[in-house]
Structure 1
């Protein structure tokens, strides 16, 4: 995977970040989601690298990036801190401004980045999510059943960590199967990487902290933005799985128009893992949106 890419580890002020970088052209930052790593981009990174300098990191706590110490208020895994990591990564690589794509948790980090670092983000694409605050304020039985993990992972330490840790591979395989349309779209090599990283007890704890932050300090930040009328100013593309939960539970474009000024998007005929389930369609839609 990632043939022609260079593997790097960059120390930011908050965490050491593992990443791959490849290609030539304008910078493009790709942020993965739960329970994955940068590997989720392996089917599309080569095509994107033909036009862009592609940077695909592991978020703090995920993959082979540093598992930083947790804070009582969960702020060390706030999307604000996770976004700052990646802004610093791009600056160290020599990129002051860049285009940004985020899937799942990476999309939430990307949303925060586009607000906190508006001068850095030229264009933003979010994959198969609606804003975090919208999700928590819209929970009904259907959404709670599909997104039960939002409420399981935020339980106080060490309950979810212990339960997942009893058989982390079972949990990961069960979760990825529930969110997609089967698992045939995951290559054996990619799945082996997801399992390797997910079996690390420190990674399991970090992922729980990511969700705990989403239910606490991230909501404080989002509510402050809403009260101040702060919105994403750059063009935003929302792509979501037409056979996934978002399509059944939300008017996805309307949710993003509540928090962003310039929104477009569409459903793709797949489940949650768009770049792995429909890599060609995803790449085409993204290239239509990005500035060359």
Structure 2
């Protein structure tokens, strides 16, 4: 029997078997289906201030990506294929189909936005609308890397190092690494309350989670770029909303809308007055933007 989610009021937790893995998903609300995908180092609990409000208008599914939270953490496989955004997108589509949703809107933050980007390319018939939070396209960010970006987003280059280097170094003090990472990206003190941080730390304290996270980033720097190169001339068909934090690295480094106009046919968006984690730092402003876009 599903149990109540301790962070998303009114949501029930489900364990759903898809693609040979078990995915944890919180489900709540009524209306048109809406999928929420978190980023690193968060879990689906990152939507705690947003999902219950969205559930007043939508049937909301907030899932833990494979390797994160309480979803299963399979081996990476050859070339880190099992953490490619293609495979992670297929997980999400299968979860939604299992719950009875063949076509749905998607909101993805950070890694979840990259999964959503791949989903809109691989499953265009499934994605009605797409919102990405505080990212530029992966291939664009790697192609335009300079010293400033490599310094401020150091984990993009640290976590991709061969196993077990990053896993063992983080294992020495997971709380310090996690706290430093979140503090560096958030520009709104107190936006990650202690109970939420404790939940992230619970998951991050699992060696299997830390390894899976590294595999996610290794895939992004390898097989995901191969998939992106093969689709370089394709554009997403679904309307795309790009939102970003004006105080964050992405907003200060890129013309965010222009990067997405290279990848999608219908792009809109704007900055919010915050850092990287819009759903925790500026939930009310994010809700206003999402509700206008989702309609």
Query: Which category of TM-score, normalised to the shorter sequence, fits these structures?
Result: over 0.9
Aligned residues: 289
Are 2:283 and 1:275 aligned? no
Taking structure 1 as the reference length, the TM-score comes to: 0.98
| Structure 1 unmatched runs, 5+ | none
Q: How much does 1:183 deviate?
A: 4.1
Match of 1:236 in 2: 240
Task: Tell me the distance in 2 between the aligned counterparts of 1:36 and 1:194.
Answer: 6
Matched residue of 2:112: which SS? helix
Q: What's the RMSD between the two structures over aligned residues?
A: 0.7
The runs of at least 4 aligned residues of structure 1 exceeding 2 Å deviation read: none
| CA deviations over 1:136-159 (Å, ceiling 9, x no partner) | 000011111111100000000000
| CA deviations over 1:227-251 (Å, ceiling 9, x no partner) | xx21111000000000000111100
Q: Is the 8 A contact 2:188 2:281 kept in 1?
A: no
Match of 1:50 in 2: 56
Task: Tell me the distance in 1 between the aligned counterparts of 2:154 and 2:19.
Answer: 34
Match of 1:218 in 2: 224
| CA deviations over 1:183-212 (Å, ceiling 9, x no partner) | 411112211100000000000000000000
Are 2:267 and 1:263 aligned? yes
Q: How much does 1:72 deviate?
A: 2.5
Higher deviation after alignment, 175-184 or 274-283: 175-184
Task: Tell me the distance in 2 between the aligned counterparts of 1:115 and 1:284.
Answer: 27
| CA deviations over 1:216-272 (Å, ceiling 9, x no partner) | 00000000001xx21111000000000000111100000000010000000000000
Question: Paired residue for 2:152, among 146, 168, 173?
Answer: 146
Are 2:198 and 1:192 aligned? yes
Question: Paired residue for 1:250, among 248, 254, 263?
Answer: 254
Task: Tell me the distance in 1 between the aligned counterparts of 2:192 and 2:257.
Answer: 28
Q: Is the 8 A contact 1:14 1:85 kept in 2?
A: no
